[in-house]
Amino acid sequence: MKEYDIISIGGGPAGLTVGLYGSRYGLKTLVIEKKIFGGAMAISPLIENYPGMEPIKGTDLTNRFKQQAAFYGSELRDLTDVSSLDPDEKIITLNTGEQFKAKVIIFTTGSRERKLGVEGEEKYTGRGVSWCATCDANFFRNRKVIVVGGGNSAAIETLHLVKIVGEVSIVHRRDQLRAEDAYIKQIEEAEVGFHWNSVVKEILGDGKKVTGVKLSNVKTEEEQEVPLNGVFISIGYDPNNELAAEAGIELNENGYIIVDNKMQTNIEGIYAAGDITGGQKQLTVSTGQATSATMNAFLYMHGGSWYK
């Protein structure tokens, strides 16, 4: 059995930050990722809002995160799934059958965007289909886009887009938004179009990029094709919380891990950071929470606290 001081379950921006800070503190640190390191950061065509960084491809920024964590001594394991966790013994078991023991475990498992599940969605992801206006709005200057959704997230995406892109419309399966009144008022004052009582049936493209969508009215079943350049999907997120739930970690009503001001969960020695804790799903938030979690984990292992 291999033993570590810290194991981060997840290798997105938060997990790689754990790797950086953990190893710089002289802690034996392991970062586990079951899909691709970097998560949503890795598949972003261009990241323009990371402080102090020139616009950079998501893959390039991910590689910088990885190289920095590895340089200071963190071990990175990709394509490795965690099948079980014993919080009493701080033992995690990988799908390979190997066992690893850690003094501290930090969940950085993130969340996944809810998808429409329609034809063209996967094919044109990153080529006109996006889940982040903050990340991708600048690619659609003087172009036509739609936002799919009707809650606060969709409203916030819309308000960001109207400042940048040429034309914005909202597609919502109901006849009114479910967002807060303040957001609705701002949207009403902006030049935003609406496709009420409608859902996206198909995302259309020319093989290289999005060229439009096929909409269906949920009441009349009438279909129409709308030419456009971008589709911003904002119908919510689902936390990657299955392992945490099985381990007895407390979750909120939306399934996100509950943490205190030290980023610690209800189980001693287990922390969480990044999108798995809910809140704003931004790169800077994830790295900041991971920094806090790792620093507090270091003090936990050495009997100290920032808060004394």
Beta-bridged to residue 272, according to DSSP, are 107
The residue type found at 270 is: I
pLDDT in tens, 264-290: 999 999 999 999 999 888 899 999 999
Distance of CA 52 to the CA centre of its chain: 21
132 is an active site residue: yes
pLDDT band at 305 (very low <50, low <70, confident <90, very high): low
pLDDT at 1: 86
CA dist 57 and 252 (Å) reads 34
Contact 274, 14 (CB under 8 A): yes
Residue 277's closest CA among 134, 107, 157?
107
Contact 147, 168 (CB under 8 A): yes
Contact 305, 290 (CB under 8 A): no
Percent above pLDDT 70 for the chain: 98
Percent above pLDDT 90 for the chain: 77
In degrees and rounded to multiples of 5, residue 21 shows phi and psi of: -70, -40
pLDDT band at 307 (very low <50, low <70, confident <90, very high): low
> Right CATH number for 2-112+237-301 from 3.50.50.60, 3.40.50.10800, 3.30.70.360, 3.40.640.10?
3.50.50.60
Q: What letter would DSSP give residue 188?
A: H
pLDDT at 198: 97
56: CB partners within 8 A, 6+ apart:
46, 47, 50
- What would the two tokens of residue 189 be? 């004052």
pLDDT in tens, 160-182: 999 999 899 999 999 999 988 98
Mean pLDDT of 66-70: 97
pLDDT at 252: 97
- The domain locations on the chain are 2-112+237-301, 115-233
pLDDT band at 128 (very low <50, low <70, confident <90, very high): very high
pTM of the model: 0.77
CA dist 227 and 205 (Å) reads 10
pLDDT at 193: 96
pLDDT at 74: 98
Mean pLDDT of 192-213: 97
First to last CA, the chain: 35
pLDDT at 45: 67
206 is an active site residue: no
Beta-bridged to residue 184, according to DSSP, are none
pLDDT band at 134 (very low <50, low <70, confident <90, very high): confident
Cα angle 283, 274, 150 (rounded to 5 degrees) comes to: 75
| Catalytic member of 88, 136, 206, 238 | 136
CA dist 61 and 38 (Å) reads 8
Residue 218 has pLDDT above 80, yes or no: yes
Domain 115-233 has CATH 3.50.50.60: yes
pLDDT at 190: 92
Using only C-alpha atoms, what is the Rg of the chain?
A: 21
Beta-bridged to residue 186, according to DSSP, are none
Q: How would you classify the pairing of strands 91-94 and 82-86?
A: antiparallel
Residue 10's closest CA among 106, 125, 113?
106
| Catalytic member of 5, 88, 135, 238 | 135
pLDDT band at 191 (very low <50, low <70, confident <90, very high): confident
136 is an active site residue: yes
| Catalytic member of 60, 78, 88, 132 | 132
Residue 28's closest CA among 92, 108, 109, 103?
103
- What would the two tokens of residue 35 be? 């899909």
Contact 108, 93 (CB under 8 A): no
Which region holds residue 255: left if phi is over 0, alpha if psi is between -120 and 50, else beta? Answer: left
In degrees and rounded to multiples of 5, residue 17 shows phi and psi of: -70, -40
Residue 245 has pLDDT above 90, yes or no: yes
CA dist 81 and 47 (Å) reads 28
pLDDT in tens, 77-107: 998 899 999 998 888 888 778 899 999 999 9
In degrees and rounded to multiples of 5, residue 97 shows phi and psi of: 95, -10
